[in-house]
Structures are given as structure tokens and as C-alpha cells.
């Protein structure tokens, strides 16, 4: 989900868009090797643009989870921990940088695999791969900086004692990631976990796992010590749930739905293990009447329809000042009509298919419910007429929305924007905070004082001012309320995978003299 505001020079269009690609046949990646699942089951890979089966992935079960966890624990203890857990951060950084370089080398292949696996436009997938490499590089920097923080002294009120802290890897970590940014969301967790010295087991979504499996081959290529990263594809109940509840997993980090996050918390609680949760969202974008309307319309569309609308932080609730609401809505519809909807591999595609048939039906049901509750479908809400197959949905704009409607309250996770107007700043804030979620939020206004007031009033972990969705490896990412807790990215992301140990030493030659 890292969108860097920058100019990108992609590979030459002819080579990039016309490069032939097929789904590699992989097994589970355990202990540095490709290993067939114990039950030998596999899951078909369906191209959401064509609805055709284009390959398959291995389906892990609890037996495979046990094997992977044992491999991870063995990897941490190998050579007394000196191979990884207690090695210097600089040592681990070399591997992270080697992974980043390999990802950059394989960018055209990885981007195309991502596009045919989850349906996002090819140039967006390429952007994601750039950010995967950047995230590994950034965490390599953090790993190196960690060395200087070891044995940091603590000032004490008694000069007869000295105290310092040791930062240690938390241990074996289970990482469960979603399908909307398959390799990037995995990297948000893998890179800091490895930088901290942990061993990891990744369980990506069964709906888009192909590039995550390719990361296993990259780890083999760069010589990552066996067992430090293990990759188990499979269904949530069969692979994710056993990982979350495994007694020898020391921490779980999860990105996905609030419902699944609640189940993971429950499972982790049985063994009193920490969790980091980045869950759903129903984020607002508040537009005041002093803006350049065209610029605000562009950010509004981008904030909701980027990645085919499948973003947990999507600013999918537009709250616009009543004095410009009519003009704003008209321009939204005009611009939405010009968004190119096509196969993700077609040059210029700006909206591809949603990830699966199940997601497609779910989104259409949201639209029908909104209509039945009295909302107006100002544009979209159906399959584009020129596309007869694939899970394509037009960018959808829904107006005449009330705060009691499902479309206002529940996360759609698709290209659907609902619109409501406001009169006063106070009303705008109240509407923005009228949600169980608290991940992202945006305010667009030329009055920076107003932007500051609204920023402070938003009940969200992330606030964008005069933009929507920019995200950087250096800045913390996470939410409030039912959007979860904990922060990823930045130094905060690394802290998720570290345990702090206090070491206090008595340095006086005098007897303590307090036992008699």
C-alpha cells in the first residue's frame, strides 16, 4: 500500500506489457527448500480478468505449520543464534539488501505475476514492486542502526547500580497477509521481522499468493539461512488458524478483515502472545468549499478507486460542503466515465477486475442494498458493457446517502464511493468520525488552520491533508477502534518484532546490608 508521490520510469512499454508470463509451479517454502504439502493438496489460481484457471498453489495444513514452526525455531538456535538471531544488524542488513536487489532485477516478471493473480493494473503492480524493494532497503538501514542502540545505558537515581537495555528478536513470528497488495503487504511484515533477527512464517491470502512464493526463490538465490523465512500458502482455517494458535509461535502480525482479526486475537490470547492488527476501514475524505474543485475531484477518485478500490484505507466516504456538492458530484461522474477499465495487462488500464467472483458478488450486493435503502447510483454499479467476462465493476458513485445506510457504515472493499454533504466544520467532523473504524482520513482545504483543527479532531491513525493515500516506509501506519492496533512501517514497524531486556548490575564493593 505504499504509494510514493514521484515520477516512475517503467520498463519500455513493448517489453513490459508484451512479455510472456506463466505461473511458476511451486511447493511450500520450508527450511530453505521447496516441500510438497503433507496432504498434497493444491488450490487453483484464477485470473480475475478472464475467470480462467492459470495455475495452482500448494495448500498447507496444520501438519505443514508444525514443520515450518520447527524449522523456524531451529534456525534461531543454529550456531548458538550467531547465524541470525544474535548476529549483528549489519550482518542481517546484507541479506535484506540482496533481496531488494533481486526484487528490482525481477520487477517486470513479478509485476506481471501480481497483475494476473489479483487483477490490479500492471503499472500499479510495477509501482508496488518498486516499493517492495524500497521497504527491504529501508529496513536494512534500521537493522544497521540497531547495532548502535544495543546496550543503551539507563540513568538511575542510585550510583551503586548500572543499567542498560538489550534489544532482542521476539522469536518466531507468524505473518498473515491479504490479497490486495500480495508481496508488498507481506514485505511490510517480513522486512522488519528479519531486520530484528526473528524467524518468520508467512501465510499469504489464498486469493493471491503467487509473488509471495517467488520471494522464497529469491531467498534461496541470495542464500538466506534456511528456516529464517518460511512461506505457507493455503486456506485460512487450514493454515492461518493453526499458525495463529500455535504454542511455539511468539507473535502474530495480521492484516485483513476485522472479523478475522478478532478470531486471531482470541487464538493468540490462549498462549498470551502479542498481536499486531491492521484491519478494515471506512475512511472519510472531507472537502471544504475553498478548494480547487478539479484537484479535489482527482484526489477523491484516486483515494477510492486506486488498486480497483480494494484498499483498507480507501477514503470511500466523501463528505463535501453543500455549496459545491452539486458541481463536485457532476465532475466526479464525468471523470469516472473516463477511467479506462480493461484487462490489467492492457496499457493505460486504470481499473482492473476485483480479485474474485465472491468479491464481485459481494460488491454488487452492496450496491443493490444501497439502492433499495433509497440511495441514488449516480454512476456505475455494474459490469462495463464492453467486458463480457472477468470480475469487472464500473467505478461506482452513490449519492443521497444517509448515515443509517449500510453503504455508509460497512466496508465494501471495492470501487464504490458514497457521497454526503455538510454545512459546518463541526458537522463535517461529526460525520467523519461516525464510524466504528479509524484507519485513514483526509481533509482538503486551502485553509491550513482549518486543516490542523480537523486533523486533530479526526479519530484515525492516519490523516492526509490535501491528498489521499500517500504512504512511505518511513512513516507509521495503523489505526484505531475496529481498524486494529499497533503500527507498521518506520521505526515503529521494527519495534513490533523486538523484545527489550533490562540488565541491572550492582557495582559497589560494599555489602548490600539489607538482609539482617
Q: Which residues participate in catalysis according to the annotation?
A: 278
| Of 436, 464, 406, 422, nearest in space to 285 by CA | 464
Residue-wise over 393-430: b if at least 16 C-beta within 10 A, else e?
bbbbbbbebeeebebbeebbbbbbbbbbbbeebeebbe
* Measured distance CA(201)–CA(207) in Å, rounded: 18
Task: Please tell me what DSSP assigns to residue 341.
Answer: B
> CA 469 → CA 9, 15, 264, 311, 316, distances in Å?
21, 30, 27, 9, 11
Task: Please tell me what DSSP assigns to residue 81.
Answer: G
With beta carbons less than 8 A apart as the criterion, state whether 182 and 208 touch: yes
Please give the grid coordinates belonging to residue 120: 490490479
Sort residue 174 into left (φ over 0), alpha (ψ -120 to 50) or beta. Answer: beta
With beta carbons less than 8 A apart as the criterion, state whether 154 and 165 touch: yes
Measured over the CA atoms of residue 176, residue 52, residue 11 and residue 127, the dihedral's sign is negative
* 33-35 vs 28-30, strand pairing mode: antiparallel
SS3 state at 120: coil
* Measured distance CA(516)–CA(507) in Å, rounded: 21
Please give the grid coordinates belonging to residue 91: 550482518
83 alpha carbon, distance to own chain's centre: 29
| Of 298, 396, 302, 384, nearest in space to 346 by CA | 384
With beta carbons less than 8 A apart as the criterion, state whether 506 and 516 touch: no
What is the DSSP annotation of 268-320?
Answer: HHTTT--EEEE-----EEEE-TTS-HHHHHHHHHHHHHGGGG--TT---EEEE
With beta carbons less than 8 A apart as the criterion, state whether 107 and 60 touch: no
Amino acid at each position: 500500500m505504499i504509494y510514493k508521490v514521484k515520477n516512475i520510469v517503467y520498463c519500455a512499454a513493448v517489453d513490459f506489457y508484451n512479455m510472456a508470463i506463466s505461473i511458476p509451479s511451486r511447493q511450500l517454502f520450508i527450511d530453505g527448500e521447496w516441500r510438497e504439502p503433507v496432504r498434497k493438496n493444491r488450490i487453483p489460481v484464477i485470473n480475475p480478468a478472464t475467470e480462467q484457471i492459470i495455475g495452482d498453489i500448494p495448500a498447507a495444513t496444520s501438519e505443514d505449520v508444525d514443520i515450518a514452526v520447527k524449522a523456524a525455531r531451529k534456525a534461531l538456535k543454529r550456531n548458538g543464534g550467531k547465524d541470525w538471531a544474535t548476529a549483528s544488524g549489519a550482518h542481517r542488513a546484507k541479506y535484506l539488501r540482496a533481496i531488494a536487489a533481486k526484487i528490482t532485477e525481477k520487477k517486470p516478471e513479478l509485476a506481471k505475476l501480481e497483475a494476473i493473480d489479483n487483477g490490479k493494473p500492471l503499472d500499479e503492480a510495477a509501482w508496488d514492486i518498486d516499493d517492495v524493494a524500497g521497504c527491504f532497503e529501508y529496513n536494512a538501514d534500521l537493522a544497521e542502526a540497531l547495532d548502535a542502540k544495543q546496550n543503551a545505558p539507563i540513568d538511575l537515581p542510585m550510583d551503586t547500580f548500572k543499567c542498560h537495555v538489550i534489544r532482542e528478536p521476539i522469536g518466531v513470528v507468524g505473518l498473515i497477509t491479504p490479497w490486495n497488495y500480495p508481496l508488498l503487504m507481506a514485505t511490510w511484515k517480513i522486512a522488519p521481522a528479519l531486520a530484528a533477527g526473528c524467524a518468520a512464517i508467512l501465510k499469504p491470502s489464498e486469493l493471491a499468493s503467487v509473488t509471495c512464493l517467488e520471494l522464497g526463490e529469491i531467498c534461496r538465490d541470495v542464500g538466506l539461512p534456511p528456516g529464517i523465512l518460511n512461506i505457507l500458502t493455503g486456506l485460512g482455517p487450514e493454515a492461518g488458524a493453526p499458525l495463529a494458535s500455535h504454542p511455539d509461535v511468539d507473535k502474530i502480525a495480521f492484516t485483513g478483515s476485522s472479523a478475522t482479526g478478532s478470531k486471531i486475537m482470541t487464538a493468540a490470547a490462549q498462549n498470551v502472545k502479542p498481536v499486531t492488527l491492521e484491519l478494515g476501514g471506512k475512511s472519510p475524505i472531507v472537502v471544504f468549499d475553498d478548494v480547487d474543485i478539479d484537484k479535489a475531484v482527482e484526489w477523491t477518485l484516486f483515494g477510492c478507486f486506486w488498486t480497483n478500490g480494494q484498499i483498507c484505507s480507501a477514503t470511500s466516504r466523501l463528505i463535501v460542503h453543500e455549496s459545491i456538492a452539486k458541481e463536485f458530484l457532476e465532475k466526479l461522474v464525468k471523470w469516472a466515465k473516463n477511467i479506462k477499465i480493461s484487462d490489467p495487462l492492457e496499457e493505460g488500464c486504470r481499473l482492473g477486475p476485483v480479485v474474485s467472483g465472491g468479491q464481485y458478488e459481494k460488491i454488487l450486493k452492496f450496491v443493490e442494498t444501497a439502492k433499495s435503502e433509497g440511495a441514488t447510483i449516480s454512476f456505475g454499479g455494474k459490469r462495463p458493457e464492453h467486458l463480457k467476462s472477468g470480475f469487472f465493476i464500473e467505478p461506482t458513485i452513490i449519492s443521497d446517502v444517509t448515515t443509517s445506510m449500510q453503504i455508509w457504515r460497512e466496508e465494501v472493499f471495492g470501487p464504490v464511493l458514497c457521497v454526503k454533504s455538510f454545512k459546518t466544520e463541526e458537522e463535517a467532523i461529526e460525520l467523519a468520525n461516525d464510524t466504528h473504524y479509524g484507519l485513514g482520513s483526509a481533509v482538503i482545504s486551502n485553509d491550513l488552520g482549518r486543516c490542523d483543527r480537523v486533523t486533530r479532531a479526526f479519530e484515525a491513525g492516519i490523516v492526509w491533508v490535501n491528498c489521499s493515500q500517500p504512504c512511505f516506509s518511513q512513516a507509521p501506519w495503523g489505526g484505531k477502534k475496529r481498524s486494529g492496533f499497533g503500527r507498521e512501517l518506520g521505526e515503529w514497524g521494527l519495534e513490533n518484532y523486538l523484545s527489550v531486556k533490562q540488565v541491572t548490575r550492582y557495582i559497589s564493593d560494599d555489602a548490600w546490608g539489607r538482609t539482617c
